[in-house]
Structure 1
Amino acid sequence: MGGLFRHVRDLALAHEAAGHSVGIICDTPGVPGYSEGMVAELTPRISLGVKRVSMRREVGPRDLIDARKVLNVLKELKPSVLHGHGAKGGVYARALGSLIRAERSRVARFYSPHGGSLHYGAATRPGKAYFRVERFLERFTDHILFVADFEKRAYTAKIGPPACPWSVNRNGLTAAEFEPVEPVADAADFLFLGELRAIKGPDLFIHALAELKSAGHAHIRAVIVGDGAERQQLAGLAESLGLSDSVEFRPSMPAREAFALARTFVMPSRAEALPYVVIEALAAQVPVVATYVGGIPEIFGSSADALVAPESGALAAAMRAAAENRAHFMRLLPGQTTLKERFSIERMAEHALEAYREAVTKLAH
């Protein structure tokens, strides 16, 4: 879903363009919020194709059946590199990659958490269980590619310093994504774009809108773009706060299309790794109100003081500032030169290839 699959897609296409044979194993169709558009785009463009296997976010007995299906695909494809993305993908890549290794394959096993299990608290029961699994799987890991310095720090704090090779490989954009996006003539004031679940903070966004409206901004309008299991619950929240005529819900769409629907993009997340959508919005020169969580401060760099706490009052204050003086608010955000230097697809793809080459070469000796 979302940024994780965008990262996978961009790596796959860049590596295919560099002359490598790439395939993807991902979840079956029908999951709310899943990036089916990106799957359809990828299928004819990667030489090993897209294989669909059921992969549930929750851990359960069905995982054994699903894992067997993934193993069969891997035996068919015989990859040199197996790169698992997200917590479930990371388990499959390392555990199943090790089974293949036992059959004299030389597959290199890579893992990118993308937040995943790291979103859990160290003191929670699920967190303790997941972190024990993560620590155990390190012995079957040839390299961890974190997408943010924050992610590596969270891993070290909750699991311990990685006992295997690791590096940071940040998300990257194409040159075209640095072209500005202008709002449409009847653009709303604010945009939420993302998966509709609590960790992304859409409820905080709605509460912030209600606070602005009660403070005198009677004609405020917002667009919520995305899919997810909590869509109806969020629509009910907007109605209960008197925002039915002020908030429009739309299904998922490409980020740059969504950016044109409003004058300010709001990222009210409670937790993140290194969200693509924030980089995309800044690159498109769209005003961004975002929370000081995860790897978002890494994106903002010296402009991180513009970030706010994941709390409706703080969001409302920043949203008001962006609406009242757009030009001044834009000057608080990171500049285009800095963004281009740090977040390019070319840099991201080459860094991953360097790590792959090193691991494959080590296995050959």
Structure 2
Amino acid sequence: MAAPCNEAPLVVHLIYRLDFGGLENLMVERINRMPADAYRHAVVCLTGYTDFSKKITRPGVDLYSLGKKSGLSLGTHAALWKLLRKLKPAVLHSYNLSAIEYAPAALLAGVPVRVNGAHGRDAADPQGRNRKHNFLRRMMVPFYDCCYANSADMLEWNRTIIGVPAHKSRLLANGIDSDKFRPAAGDRSDAFFAAGCIVIGTVGRIQDVKDHATLVDAFVQLLDRMPEQRAQLRLAIVGDGPLLEKLRARVAAAGIADQVWLPGSRTDIADILRGLDIFAMSSIAEGTPGSALEAMASGLPVVGTRVGGIPEVIADGVTGLLVPASDPAAMAQALERYARSPAMAREHGAAGRERVQRHYNMNAMVAGYQSMYDTLCERKTSFRKNIKSCVES
């Protein structure tokens, strides 16, 4: 089932939906940046994809949609099996719980290496306590060669709660392009916001797990806490998702529509970040948050919730401030500290960029994933001589 010796092995990335999001963005970055002579790539979407797919700039990356319906959808397993038999990949790389159940189909299709990544948990189960979901995760472990995590918090949960053995466990931290995401040269860009504004912003898919409602409530409280600067305060929530219209209605009902920017999905995130003063993350569950790393690389202080991998990224009181999840008052208080002290905001922002450059390097992330593929392919050659191409370059 391996690629011919004159062709790089194929990695099939199996994802629920290819749309605006941190997981999706970093997956695309890895595909674009991994050496072409190391691996080829294809992306299979269980449900579908949007124009976000155009961010894949590497030539020769095929995109497939299985049109999965809600529920068990046994036909999707059969469709994937059929597609994998046709593509003959060396590696199936599935992402999160939504794609974890398809490893048996890959095994039956003859895919020699199977990998699942834990990049975060759902809003309905932020602590990972859902017995049904965890039972499925445990049932799938034997079908995978590696179940990695992108944060130490998720790695420990994988090992202790799901029971992923050490030889199948690996930590692969996110990486950020600190050349693309960089501080504004001189004064902050005023391309998006009027001069003199104090702009708080966030970037991410508008869905339950991000809890943007808490951020909006915190901003309302911040306006009350800073009446003398109320006219200068702005909130930017950038991203698309199923709750966007509901969030717009919440903003309108609060009477703050003229101070909140909700543009939907954007492709100029690096430029937008250079127009912010403070970055905020109100998530109730996270892996390693790529959006926070992008903000830090852009020289912004980050106010984030104390959940999942966020405390691993944000050094409290050094690069940002940590607050409890679903606590608008605590978030408003933290945002006020930065709004009232631009000097502290700049100091923490500079420390955040240095932290990203030291610990969350994009090249290191890409190399880490390539090393995982290499190691697993080489290990499987002792049983499958026909995937020798995985370790030859």
TM bin (shorter chain) = 0.7 to 0.9
Structure 2 residue corresponding to 1:224, chosen from 232, 237, 250: 237
- Please give the secondary structure, in 2, of the residue aligned with 1:171: coil
How many Å apart are 1:260 and its aligned residue?
Answer: 3.6
**Alignment-mate amino acid for residue 351 of structure 1:** G
In structure 2, how many angstroms separate the alpha carbons of the residues matched to 1:202 and 1:78? Answer: 42
Are 2:327 and 1:315 aligned?
Answer: no
In structure 2, how many angstroms separate the alpha carbons of the residues matched to 1:335 and 1:25? Answer: 35
The equivalences for 1:151-230 within 5 A come to 151-162=154-165, 164-181=167-184, 182-184=188-190, 186=194, 189-215=199-225, 216=227, 217-219=229-231, 220-230=233-243
How many Å apart are 1:240 and its aligned residue?
Answer: 2.4
How many Å apart are 1:97 and its aligned residue?
Answer: 1.8
In structure 2, how many angstroms separate the alpha carbons of the residues matched to 1:14 and 1:197? Answer: 28
How many Å apart are 1:69 and its aligned residue?
Answer: 2.0
Q: Which runs of 5+ in 2 are unaligned?
A: 1-18, 383-393
The structure with the greater share of residues assigned to helix is: 1
Aligned length: 349
The Cα offsets for residues 176-198 of structure 1, whole Å up to 9 and x where unpaired, read as: 13421333261552113211122
Structure 1 residue corresponding to 2:87, chosen from 64, 77, 81: 77
In structure 2, how many angstroms separate the alpha carbons of the residues matched to 1:119 and 1:341? Answer: 34
In structure 2, how many angstroms separate the alpha carbons of the residues matched to 1:23 and 1:353? Answer: 15
Calculate the aligned-residue CA RMSD, in Å: 2.5
TM-score by length of 1: 0.87
Residue matched to 2:278: 264
Structure 1 residue corresponding to 2:357, chosen from 316, 340, 350: 340
How many Å apart are 1:335 and its aligned residue?
Answer: 4.0
TM-score by length of 2: 0.81
Q: Greater shift after overlay, 44-53 or 75-84?
A: 44-53
- Go from structure 1 to structure 2 and tell me whether the alpha carbon gap of 1:118 and 1:167 turns closer, same or farther (over 3 Å shift): farther
Task: Give percent identity, aligned residues only.
Answer: 22
In structure 1, how many angstroms separate the alpha carbons of the residues matched to 2:215 and 2:278? Answer: 12
**Alignment-mate amino acid for residue 235 of structure 2:** A
Structure 2 residue corresponding to 1:283, chosen from 297, 304, 315: 297
How many Å apart are 1:305 and its aligned residue?
Answer: 7.1
The Cα offsets for residues 87-112 of structure 1, whole Å up to 9 and x where unpaired, read as: 122222x22221123xxx5x200010
Are 2:96 and 1:86 aligned?
Answer: yes
The structure with the greater share of residues assigned to strand is: 2
**Alignment-mate amino acid for residue 146 of structure 1:** A
- Please give the secondary structure, in 2, of the residue aligned with 1:293: coil
Residue matched to 2:45: 26
In structure 2, how many angstroms separate the alpha carbons of the residues matched to 1:54 and 1:164? Answer: 34
- Go from structure 1 to structure 2 and tell me whether the alpha carbon gap of 1:72 and 1:48 turns closer, same or farther (over 3 Å shift): farther
The Cα offsets for residues 312-336 of structure 1, whole Å up to 9 and x where unpaired, read as: 0111011111111122133245443
**Alignment-mate amino acid for residue 183 of structure 1:** S
- Please give the secondary structure, in 1, of the residue aligned with 2:170: strand
- Go from structure 1 to structure 2 and tell me whether the alpha carbon gap of 1:83 and 1:232 turns closer, same or farther (over 3 Å shift): same
